[in-house]
A and B are shown apart, each in its own frame.
Chain A
Amino acid sequence: DTEVTQTPKHLVMGMTNKKSLKCEQHMGHRAMYWYKQKAKKPPELMFVYSYEKLSINESVPSRFSPECPNSSLLNLHLHALQPEDSALYLCASSQAVLGMGQETQYFGPGTRLLVL
């Protein structure tokens, strides 16, 4: 089973709203990721969690706030977003091991976010 689930599938929010994106995996992976993807562009890494601790923040604005409540769940809290934040937000997970392909990332279906 290589399934990563994400909710919601679609989200429309105003610039003053607060919302959260959720991601879940049950593969026993200890590394989890948030990506942002614009149309016709590759995924752009935002955050990496390793063993439930934030290990990489790619200089993401503070209006995006990640949270890893346990080894299976990853949240992305959104507040005061801008229209240019509209994108597909992808969650991924992998083993927290380098080498021999163990760091292969498996992606969830994504949340399509529209900020008005």
Chain B
Amino acid sequence: GQNIDQPTEMTATEGAIVQINCTYQTSGFNGLFWYQQHAGEAPTFLSYNVLDGLEEKGRFSSFLSRSKGYSYLLLKELQMKDSASYLCAVSGALRSNDYKLSFGAGTTVTVRA
């Protein structure tokens, strides 16, 4: 089975940094994804990690440690528009034609002025 854990809620101040952790236990591993979802909207793709280390994309960075089953999403210089739910998802397929993503429950980030 697949088990993906992330905190339910986090609050931070505008301009600050927030780190959202995600731990996973999956039967296979082909990569880890982070999505952002604003209330009432569709998830949008933020980042993908398959190798250990840090991937940086502007204000957002994502880190992966495969041996620890651990990832984090780092949001720097927080802006009010970053208030959203952040979903950690794992591609854990064992079969080559299984493209399912297993999603964590999501972390709601609230940015305060």
Task: Please report A residues at the B interface, Cβ cutoff 8 Å.
Answer: 2, 31, 40-43, 45, 48, 50, 55-56, 88, 90, 94, 96, 98-101, 103-110, 112
Contact = CB atoms under 8 A, between A and B. Distances in A.
A40 to B, nearest CB: 8
Secondary structure at chain A's binding surface: helix, strand, loop or mixed?
loop
B100 A48 contact: yes
Contacts of A103: 30-31, 91, 99, 101
Nearest to B41: A109
Interface in B10-62: 30-31, 33, 40-45, 48, 50
B67 interface: no
Contacts of A112: 40
Contacts of B85: 40
B99 A50 contact: yes
Contacts, number: 68
A109 B37 CA distance: 11
Interface string B93-113: 100111111011110100000
A48 B103 contact: no
B73 interface: no
A96 to B, nearest CB: 7
Given A42-B105, A96-B97, A101-B50, A107 B43 contact: yes
A109 B99 contact: no
A98 B42 contact: no
Q: Which of B40, B87, B93, B99 has the most CB of A within 10 A?
A: B99
